[in-house]
Amino acid sequence: MNLQACLSVIALLIPLSTQAQTPVAHGGDVTVTMPGLVSEQATEDESAEIEIMFRRFETLSRVVERLPDGIRTVTLTTDPEVEAALVSHVAGMVGRVTTGEDPKIPIQSPTLDILFLRGSGIDSVVEPVAGGVAVTQTSADPEVVQALHRHADEVTDLVERGMVAVHERIGTHNH
């Protein structure tokens, strides 16, 4: 990425620190205040759910089990609004992976590319649990298994550090 493109990505991320408004998903009146989460291919609800999770990432916790053929994760939150966003996000995004409908959200991880390309070969089970969601995903394709492992680690990084993890990934991968 050249310097100009890099600066425009950073500009997309700036509103996180300059705006305090919290989006409301699932209620009709959705306001997404982080432009880096907006895409023509994603609904406002989808972007708002991700924004809520970023803004309140400190309420989230997570355990990841690496299986030889995939992952099993349990992600929890202490905040009921975050829980609703999390459950909806996971169900919706896993559904998108299965059908190959990439939302092309500007800040999304490149690890997702192969998952969207080969998603029809992933077996996914999403189970709401008290306070969050459990996900099991398996595949017979070793490259997909590698991507599932990597993506699970990336989600853990988001849960632990929020948008700082995104800033760091974009900086690290493009300079």
Which of 48/115 has CB closer to ligand HEM?
115
Q: How far is the CB of 107 from ligand HEM (least distance, A)?
A: 6
How far is it, in rounded angstroms, from Cα 82 to Cα 59?
8
CA distances from 81 to 3, 49, 60, 168 (A): 38, 9, 12, 27
CB of 32 or CB of 90, closer to ligand HEM: 90
23 DSSP assignment: P
Of 16 and 148, which CB lies nearer to ligand HEM in the complex structure? 148
Min separation Cβ 82 and ligand HEM, Å: 9
Least distance (Å) from ligand HEM to the CB of residue 45? 13
CB of 14 to ligand HEM, least distance (A): 16
How far is residue 9's CA from residue 7's CA, in Å, rounded to a whole number? 5
Cβ closest to ligand HEM, residue 8 vs residue 41: 41
Q: What is the DSSP letter of 104?
A: -
Q: Tokens in use for 3?
A: 């310097």
Specify the residue, 6 or 61, whose C-beta has the smaller distance to ligand HEM. 61
| Spatial separation of the C-alpha atoms in residues 43 and 37, rounded to whole Å | 10
In whole angstroms, how close is the CB of 70 to ligand HEM at the nearest point?
9
Q: What number of other Cβ atoms are within 10 A of residue 4's Cβ?
A: 7
The answer to whether 153 touches 66, Cβ cutoff 8 Å, is: no
Cα–Cα distance, 46 to 103 (Å, whole number): 9
Residues that bind ligand HEM (CB under 6 A): 50, 53-54, 57, 60, 71, 73, 75, 89-90, 93-94, 96-97, 103, 105, 107-108, 112, 115, 124, 135, 137, 148, 151-152, 155, 158-159
